[in-house]
Amino acid sequence: MKYIDEFRDGAAARRVADTIAAEARPDVAYNFMEFCGGHTHAISRYGISGMLPANVRMIHGPGCPVCVLPIGRIDLAISLALDRGVMLCTYGDTMRVPASENLSLIKAKARGADIRMVYSAADALKLAEQHPDREVVFFAIGFETTTPPTALVLREAQARNVPNFSVLCCHVLTPAAITHLLESAEARELGAVPIDGFIGPAHVSIIIGSEPYVHFAKTYHKPVVITGFEPLDVMQGILMLVRQMNSGRAEVENEFSRVVTPTGNQAAQKVMAQVFELRQSFEWRGLGEVPHSALKIRPELAAWDAEVKFGLTYASVPDHKQCECGTILRGIKRPADCKLFGTVCTPETPMGSCMVSNEGACAAHYSYGRFQDMAVVTA
């Protein structure tokens, strides 16, 4: 299959679905987590859950970088714009994430803060060069996928000596989050991890490769299949997980071999290592403090580190009491289990981050959830 349409072929999808139904043992429960929000979106959009047997369940994971961003980090960004008068630049999805005091970045902008949506960190650096009299801060979020561009821009800012540019770094790491899910308090309380295998993220794996997941397969005996985002990619990945469980295997398999390699993009990894180092701990929305799960800017680049430059101190802020975003991110609940879903909380009036981003589980279910009980993959 070489073209996009072929990865969305309805007849081929039904054949894979029939194979899954034939090979899934009726007396076995198959609980698979798709870590990445892009996969959650694909599963909802194409009605994949409705094509699976009842005992093959897909669990939504915390692989949406906007969703896992805690309120306290957004508060820091808002404070920089409102109280320090910086020009704050960030990606579009971040603009509407709810923060403290009924604020968000877009609401802070309406109050007069200079907050600008950009398409890349390079856009923010360009604005800093165009406005040498202003402090420009790039609010950097994302998993390993968006980290290399931030690293390159930080290195460029240092090389060009742009003193009025800095980065508020909130880049997080996938493997640490998976480890945390497998060793969470809920898992220990139950005495077993209610996840039988993982659909591994695609874009992240392009950067880090497939090798980092071997630890989960060996240590926790959880199979991992890295898949692409097209419906046939996802369905083939589910079939591969079913077959691993049936044969008692726990290995890392790469369905997305047309892009992902075992060692990943080593040039990108090198520039990340030059610019960033591990944080001891970082708060994730829904997961709490996760050890060694995020990056900070190295001391050699402290002049371009907004946390150092502005003396920022992080403070944790609890989520809305009725919002189930945290439990949804941990895979414990589904969007429809939240009392606010689709009523008080909609994409136009989000109460939690899961309803904001296109990769958020709540946003995906809101847009496509009415198709969950039918197969809608079409040619």
> pLDDT tens across 4-41, in order?
778 888 899 999 999 999 999 999 999 999 999 899 99
CA 1 from centre of chain: 28
> pLDDT tens across 249-260, in order?
999 999 999 999
Residue 207: C-alpha distances to residues 147, 148, 222, 261, 357 (Å): 10, 9, 22, 9, 22
Residue 114: C-alpha distances to residues 91, 124, 125, 139 (Å): 14, 13, 15, 13
**DSSP letters along 23-58, please?**
HS-TT--EEEEEEEHHHHHHHHHTT-GGGS-TTEEE
**CA pair distance 154, 125, nearest whole angstrom:** 9
> pLDDT tens across 49-102, in order?
999 999 999 999 888 989 999 999 999 999 999 999 999 999 998 999 999 988
Type of residue found at 207: I
Please name the residue that has the structure tokens 């959650």: 40
Q: Are 169 and 72 in contact (CB under 8 A)?
A: no
CA 293 from centre of chain: 13
**CA pair distance 82, 337, nearest whole angstrom:** 36
> pLDDT tens across 266-322, in order?
999 999 999 999 999 999 988 889 999 999 999 999 999 999 999 999 999 988 888
pTM above 0.75, yes or no: yes
Backbone angles phi, psi at 251, to 5 degrees: -130, 170
- Of the chain, the end-to-end C-alpha distance in Å amounts to 13
Residue 102: C-alpha distances to residues 4, 40, 78, 115, 326 (Å): 42, 28, 12, 17, 18
- Confidence (pLDDT) at 73: 96
- Confidence (pLDDT) at 377: 42
Contacts of 179 (CB under 8 A, 6+ apart): 215, 216
Type of residue found at 288: G
Per-residue buried b or exposed e for 300-329, using 16+ beta carbons within 10 Å of the residue's own CB: ebeebbbbebbebeeeebebeeebbbbebb
Q: For 309-353, what is the HEC assignment? A: HCCCCCCCCCCCCCCCHHHHHCCCCCHHHCCCECCCECCCCCCCH
Percent pLDDT > 70 in the chain is 94
Half-sphere exposure of 319 (CA within 13 A, CB side): 24
Comparing 96-105, 166-175, 189-198, 281-290, the range with the smallest average pLDDT is 189-198
